[in-house]
Structure 1
């Protein structure tokens, strides 16, 4: 008997471990409910709900293949070795199959499970599934992990020219087993149920994910490079939550994008090329997670930035969290996340840079808050994005490049449509005034909307000075002087 241990791979199509297990013999599936671990990882309640809803849909899809899904409860991953071993012994399991996950806790968990199974003579098979390339196989000429995305992408392109990662065929149904599937719980203690409005934005199941992918790559992807930065436009794929939960795979996304672009990933439609580049950014950050483990220990990729003198300002942090900063585009972005579990990528950069540069608040505060509210929360991508914005990470934005939220707003929401949707108290303002309502002053101001909590020009200078004061920056300044 084979066992597939499902984690962030909640699908039957293009599932490497599932297909490998079923090729070897009769197969069971298991999913571990671990609320204590999820809380320690700051997983959002809407994300946990999304997992459970997708798990319920997956259970039905597995039933068509005659693969019973079993549910095991283990509050933390420290209990996973015992839980998996006991299940294997109860069910006569010979081999366990998993799709690799990345991060310190995930690696430790799998290592300990493998050791426990090995002691009982049970095989543990790991499969590449979340990524196009095995971490450690895309390296610099000196044999190290890449720190710069453009160089990483160049090697990936060379590898893709040689061979496109193939899709894994859907397994044929196996003979029925005399084992009943378990009921997937509707909720888990410690995680409040999201609103039905939020749930309706993110229907569960592979059919939904595959429909979104097809609809996007049929036409919208061709305009992706032109429209992806405008939050009021439907310019993005809306697939990030499905990718994070593994309801759809990166390979499926790549193949669909290639079909839309005559098999090309470097030439052809610039929108398709740009979207494939985004898939490679996702790949890059997961390779960074493996190559530089400190980033999943809440440490800055650039060690010298650990000496930054971040401000301790709970009042400013709370205003940012609640979307009450007095900067309309930032507030609209934060409110979008709180209501929908998702934030447009351009707005993630604007909001993150405002917190870390204008407010000079530690990026880890923002990273954690995003994870606590995002339905697509992913350690590698979230950490990578925050460290890029705060100039503490690999291939990060230079510390002197600081987005001005007002000019970003004017450029990417020129009509103020997005702001009006999420900051309704400003809905009566015209497209010129809505980006900076404070400039109206006096009787023309909006009483229900706060004044900016920080002066953009002065706070920019404060951030520049903080970065220049770092020991390495001082040394560089003296050397260049």
Structure 2
């Protein structure tokens, strides 16, 4: 019977659960539904949408090799999805629709609405586990609740992985050609500005590129991942996150590549490999949090008691942070990297988030939204989880007095100032000691074109701690 594969953030033909299931069941066509108003509502970045569309064009070429036509059915928002998918099913006499499950609250509501609408037409709706290693609800505490602490979640994941590693799904064989012509893939959509070609070259599209990057990382760089991952001037991270978010790579492919580099070990052997596997499990953890505690999908704090925190409302300070003009070089270099490339090093994401929420005491939601609006790898689960961890409103088990000192972090993770000099050319003349605190320089050796610090680190740290203390006292 005719099948429909509805692609979303799973733009690959290899190790694709829904695609494999559909082609096993019968002759299949594929559809993608661009939804610009929904993407704007979710604060998706122009670079993320550009990357999605470029990968969609590559996916169409790959599907052509399987004789699977790809149709494009635009919808302004996901509220239109039930009717659009139903019309497609009626037109092509579709027996069943296959999707890979997505986990945000709007995504879940969309799929539930589509499934319910299709039932009335006698069309089956199959939702497959694909974005995660473990189905949410399968990794629980002994009391049957979702884990709130990563270390405990990781331990449970390891136990399950020792029992069985999720297998990579076989790439389907080509089906017989269908008398259906694919639609042109749009290169842009309304509401999202064009991305410069030189910026696109930083993130080439397609499964082949993604697989090449994964292989290059796991063949060599992964072994030094533990030692190098926190140094932004070094190529110590995988930089695969954008491919994972768009679904050009699968989590299973990444896990199997890591295990292959470590003789099949999860928690022993090469510590760089183990550390990277743990990073994959962090992504898993934050998605399980999204399902188990849906309030975080609604811009609410994971720790409800922190909703009463007395955040500062300072548009001036927020703008300085957004523009990379805070007077703290490591903060400003990180923000300028984001604005120029659509990506930010993971260590720097923690540093800039903690500076905004602790030193400036500005609501984490303002920072979460700004990064989401600029990140090519913007993911609700990972971005929200990281921001709430830094703001002490989330799953971090360490108390609120964990506050990174940006100067200390700068000296530790960019000791020679190479990363700072790259993104702050106005400071390139400073030596390795001076570049972390240019405010200490005066006279001819000063930096007139670089701003003074917008906040005192010591007093702002005390202010943040007192704000959390007041919150605790009010709750008693």
Tell me whether the two structures share a fold, i.e. TM-score over 0.5. yes
| Partners of 1:389 and 1:396 within 8 A in 2 | no
1:101 matches 2:107: no
What SS is found at the alignment partner of 2:125? strand
Alpha-carbon distance, 1:398 to partner: 2.3
Partner residue in 2 for 1:446: 447
| Partners of 1:37 and 1:75 within 8 A in 2 | yes
| TM-align CA RMSD | 0.8
Distance 1:371 1:208 in 2: 24
Distance 2:81 2:397 in 1: 36
Partner residue in 1 for 2:222: 221
Distance 1:184 1:69 in 2: 9
Distance 1:306 1:294 in 2: 12
**What's the CA shift string for 1:250-281, capped at 9, x where partnerless?**
00000000000001111100000000000000
Alpha-carbon distance, 1:194 to partner: 1.3
Distance 2:379 2:442 in 1: 42
Distance 2:472 2:435 in 1: 41
Partner residue in 1 for 2:282: 281
Partner residue in 2 for 1:178: 179
Distance 1:258 1:459 in 2: 44
Distance 1:3 1:395 in 2: 42
Partner residue in 2 for 1:204: 205
Partner residue in 1 for 2:319: 318
Alpha-carbon distance, 1:397 to partner: 4.5
Structural mapping, 1:57-76, within 5 Å: 57-76=58-77
Distance 1:397 1:197 in 2: 41
The alignment of Structure 1 onto Structure 2 pairs a total of residues equal to 475
Alpha-carbon distance, 1:229 to partner: 0.1
Partner residue in 1 for 2:403: 402
Partner residue in 1 for 2:126: 125
Partner residue in 2 for 1:373: 374
Partner residue in 2 for 1:8: 9
Distance 1:397 1:381 in 2: 19
What SS is found at the alignment partner of 1:311? coil
Structural mapping, 1:299-310, within 5 Å: 299-310=300-311
What SS is found at the alignment partner of 1:4? strand
| Partners of 1:336 and 1:342 within 8 A in 2 | yes
What SS is found at the alignment partner of 2:44? coil
**What's the CA shift string for 1:61-97, capped at 9, x where partnerless?**
0000000000001100000001000011011110000
Partner residue in 1 for 2:155: 154
Structural mapping, 1:240-279, within 5 Å: 240-279=241-280
Structural mapping, 1:410-449, within 5 Å: 410-449=411-450
Distance 2:72 2:119 in 1: 23
Alpha-carbon distance, 1:338 to partner: 0.5
Distance 1:187 1:233 in 2: 33
Partner residue in 2 for 1:37: 38
What SS is found at the alignment partner of 1:201? coil
Distance 1:368 1:397 in 2: 24
Alpha-carbon distance, 1:474 to partner: 6.1
Alpha-carbon distance, 1:442 to partner: 3.3
**What's the CA shift string for 1:307-336, capped at 9, x where partnerless?**
001000001000000000000000000000
Distance 1:322 1:397 in 2: 30
Partner residue in 2 for 1:339: 340
Mean Cα displacement is larger for which, 105-114 or 437-446? 437-446
Distance 1:443 1:201 in 2: 38
5+ unaligned residues in a row in structure 1: which ranges?
Answer: 476-481
**What's the CA shift string for 1:40-62, capped at 9, x where partnerless?**
00000010000000000000000
Alpha-carbon distance, 1:248 to partner: 0.2
What SS is found at the alignment partner of 1:126? strand
Partner residue in 1 for 2:138: 137
| Partners of 1:390 and 1:397 within 8 A in 2 | no
Distance 1:473 1:460 in 2: 20
**What's the CA shift string for 1:373-400, capped at 9, x where partnerless?**
0000000000000000000001354210
What SS is found at the alignment partner of 1:124? strand
Alpha-carbon distance, 1:441 to partner: 2.4
Partner residue in 1 for 2:457: 456
Partner residue in 2 for 1:26: 27
- Scaled by the length of structure 1, the TM-score of the pair is 0.98
Check 1:72–1:293 CA distance in 2 against 1; reply closer, same or farther (3 A cut): same
Alpha-carbon distance, 1:363 to partner: 0.1
Distance 1:472 1:304 in 2: 11
